[in-house]
């Protein structure tokens, strides 16, 4: 595809080698579960949320990257020890470990870019809207549980920078940093 497109209306299949496949982000894309884009590699997708998820999901085949393009959310991530909140604001991201149940608590309407491994192997389960093991007061006041330094959950700072070469726009650069 040699024409501009919006990420919010697109699905991109990243298979590591070869072409990046494009498809429209429509319900029909997700219904055909045996399509190559859903059974191999990663899918890059963008979704907007105004409500918190009433379900959890996990990806057994690899880590998921989530970049908050707009808004303010908490990811509630359960690696077997209950849901632990991870605050992710606009222009920040997190890596969700393979196999960890997770969901989104929306603090303000948000748009999130996901890079999801092998989408057809994603598992879902329904949960209540109130976060398990985290009081609504803690979430409201941002009294979030701090993760141990060895935790695989790493906040990522996404910065707009100008490249060294002459260029008309900006690009996003990511750098890993541990929360304090």
Query: What is the distance between the alpha carbons of residues 100 and 133, in angstroms, rounded to a whole number?
Result: 16
- Residue 93, φ and ψ in degrees, nearest 5: -150, 170
Sign of CA dihedral 97, 98, 101, 107: positive
**Which domains does the chain show, CATH number per domain?**
7-150 (2.60.120.10)
Q: Which stretches of the chain drop beneath a pLDDT of 50?
A: 132-180
Predicted pLDDT at 119? 84
Predicted pLDDT at 160? 38
Query: What is the distance between the alpha carbons of residues 10 and 45, in angstroms, rounded to a whole number?
Result: 7
Predicted pLDDT at 159? 39
* pTM, entire model: 0.69
SS3 of 9, please? helix
Predicted pLDDT at 39? 84
């Amino acid at each position: 595809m040699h024409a501009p497109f919006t990420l919010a209306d697109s699905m991109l299949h990243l298979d590591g080698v070869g072409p990046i496949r494009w498809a429209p982000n429509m319900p029909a894309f997700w219904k055909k579960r045996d399509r190559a884009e859903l059974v191999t590699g990663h899918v890059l997708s963008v979704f907007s949320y105004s409500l918190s998820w009433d379900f959890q999901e996990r990806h057994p085949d690899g880590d998921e990257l989530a970049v908050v393009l707009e808004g303010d959310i908490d990811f509630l991530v359960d690696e077997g020890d209950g849901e632990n909140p991870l605050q992710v604001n606009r222009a920040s991201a997190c890596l969700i470990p393979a196999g960890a149940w997770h969901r989104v608590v929306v603090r303000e309407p948000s748009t999130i870019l996901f890079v999801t491994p092998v989408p057809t192997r994603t598992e879902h389960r329904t949960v209540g809207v109130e976060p398990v093991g985290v009081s609504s007061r803690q979430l409201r006041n941002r009294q979030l549980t701090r993760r141990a330094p060895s935790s695989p959950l790493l906040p990522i700072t996404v910065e707009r920078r100008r490249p060294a070469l002459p260029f008309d726009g900006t690009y996003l650069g990511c750098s890993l940093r541990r929360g304090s």
